[in-house]
Amino acid sequence: MIQRPRWAEALSLQLLWGLSASLVWARVVTERVLELHEGHQRSALIALMFVLCVGSASWTARRLDRSRLRYLPLLLLAAMVMLELRRHALRQQYAASAASKSIGPIESLWRPVTTTDIALRYYALTSKQLRPERLRLVLLTDLHITPALPRDYYEQVIDLVRAQDADLILLAGDYVSRPANIPLLARFFARRWPARFGTFAVLGNHDHWTDPARVRAALSVGGVTLVENHCEHLPSQLGRIAICGTGAPWGPELSSELDRSEFNLVLSHTPDNVYRLAEQGASLVLSGHTHGGQIRLPGFGSVVVPSRFGRLFDEGHFRVAGADLLVSAGVGADDPPLRIYCQPEILVIDLQRP
Q: Where are the domains of the chain?
A: 6-92, 101-352
Report the distance separating Cα 79 and Cα 233, nearest Å.
46
Give me the pLDDT at residue 9, please.
65
Task: Please name the residues in contact with 38: beta carbons below 8 A apart, sequence gap of 6 or more.
Answer: 205, 206, 209
Pure H helices in the chain: 6-31, 40-63, 72-94, 151-162, 182-188, 205-209, 212-221, 274-280
Q: DSSP class of residue 300?
A: T
| 295-316 average pLDDT score | 91
26: number of Cβ within 10 Å: 13
In this predicted structure, the answer to whether residue 38 has a pLDDT above a threshold of 90 is no
Give me the pLDDT at residue 240, please.
95
In this predicted structure, the answer to whether residue 74 has a pLDDT above a threshold of 60 is yes
Give residue 153's pLDDT band: very low, low, confident or very high (50, 70, 90): very high
Give me the pLDDT at residue 57, please.
77
Structure-derived torsion over alpha carbons of residues 202, 147, 32, 308, reported in degrees to the nearest 10: 60
Residue 275: name the closest of 240, 246, 304 by CA: 246
Q: Which amino acid is at 344?
A: P
Residue 232: name the closest of 274, 260, 255, 201 by CA: 201
Report the distance separating Cα 240 and Cα 254, nearest Å.
19
| 80-85 average pLDDT score | 89
Q: Is the CATH number of domain 101-352 3.40.50.150?
A: no
Report the distance separating Cα 280 and Cα 267, nearest Å.
14
Mind listing the pLDDT tens digit for each residue in 249-268? Answer: 999 899 888 999 999 999 99
